Amino acid sequence: MDVGVQQPDPDLVIDVRQATVTRGGKDLIRDVDWRVELDERWVVLGPNGAGKTTLLNLAAARLHPSRGTVDVLGERLGRVDVFELRTRIGLATVALHDRMPPEESVLDAVMTAAWSVVGRFRESYDALDLRRARALLDQLGVAGLADRVYGTLSEGERKRVQIARALMTDPELLLLDEPAAGLDLGGREDLVRRLAELAADPDAPAMVLVTHHVEEIPPGFTHALLLREGGVVASGLVTDTITSENLSKTFDLPLRVDYADGRFSARAVFAASSFAGPPAGSGWAPS
């Protein structure tokens, strides 16, 4: 054992201590501390360029810190075979969609996660793999798409297939990078409902969801981490952390946060004189 070096805590799913990631002389994240325990569901929230995806890539064992330590599932990055560690982590990202062969069947798109590959080649799958893939598609509400070609799916359908794929290996940690991005209102609300159901499942893994928008946070998510310019603004229980004050600091804009029925919403707060209404004779009238 290294004297004076903090050892990984096996009871923590993610343990980030004073982590900094530097690229091209710029800190993408800086001195970040973050700990995720078993059964917790976390939201990582912040504007573009805040460091959300960088932090998620650390948790996914796809990036190493320039300084500090990162432990994932009791293993320290830099001391562990990351290819083996990644098999224990489910990851759904836009980058995965870009790599998915458009001619792949939806069923194969999910099943190939069992071999950690994108695009079926010469792997063999047994009846258990087939049943699990179909069950996950059913859980995400897209069972009827199993025989469709992946490249023909809508944005909302692709998002749900990607989450099913991320769950294929029965991971200990599920990471979702902006799963509702690009969805219309109906698609977003359907996905939020299904993620809330997943969050409520006692057999589901620890979950981390990255988003720009508080409206995309499903009920049942327990904690939040707010980032701005690579640093932590606030962290803790979701209802204690996502407040008007903290969100205003995060987005550098006066914001009002409301919370009802397990859902958040936010809107900018402008001075009464900042919007005087439409110009006279414009013909505009409220609908």
Whether 275 shows a pLDDT value over 60: the answer reads: no
The total number of residues written for the chain in this structure: 287
What b/e sequence results for 47-78 when a residue is b if at least 16 CB atoms lie within 10 Å of its CB, and e otherwise? Answer: eeebbbbbbbbbbbbbbebeebbbbbbbbebe
Q: Which fold has domain 7-88+174-232?
A: Rossmann fold (3.40.50)
Write the pLDDT tens digit of every residue in 34-56. 999 999 999 999 999 999 999 99
Confidence check: pLDDT of 274 > 60: no
- 252 burial via Cβ count (<10 Å: 0-12, 13-18, 19+): exposed
The alpha helices in 140-184, defined as continuous H runs, are 155-167
Residue 94 has pLDDT above 90, yes or no: no
Task: Name which of 188, 207, 190 is nearest 89 in CA terms.
Answer: 207
Q: What is the pTM of this model?
A: 0.88
CA 113 to chain centre: 18
Q: What is d(CA 256, CA 267) in angstroms, rounded to the nearest whole number?
A: 5
- Residue 1 above 50 pLDDT? no
Whether the pLDDT of residue 155 is over 50: the answer is: yes
Give me the pLDDT at residue 118, please: 77
Best CA proximity match to 39, nearest among 149, 231, 204, 258: 204
Domain segments of the chain as ranges: 7-88+174-232, 97-170
SS3 37: strand
Q: Where are the alpha helices (DSSP H) in 87-184?
A: 94-99, 106-111, 127-139, 155-167
What pLDDT is recorded for position 192? Answer: 96
Strand pairing class (26-37; 206-211): unpaired
Which 3 state secondary structure label does DSSP give 139?
Answer: helix
Residue 286: the pLDDT is 54
Nearest to 22 by CA among 87, 71, 68: 68
Mean pLDDT, range 72-88, rounded to an integer? 95
Backbone conformation region of residue 125, classed left if phi is above 0, alpha if psi is from -120 to 50, else beta:
beta
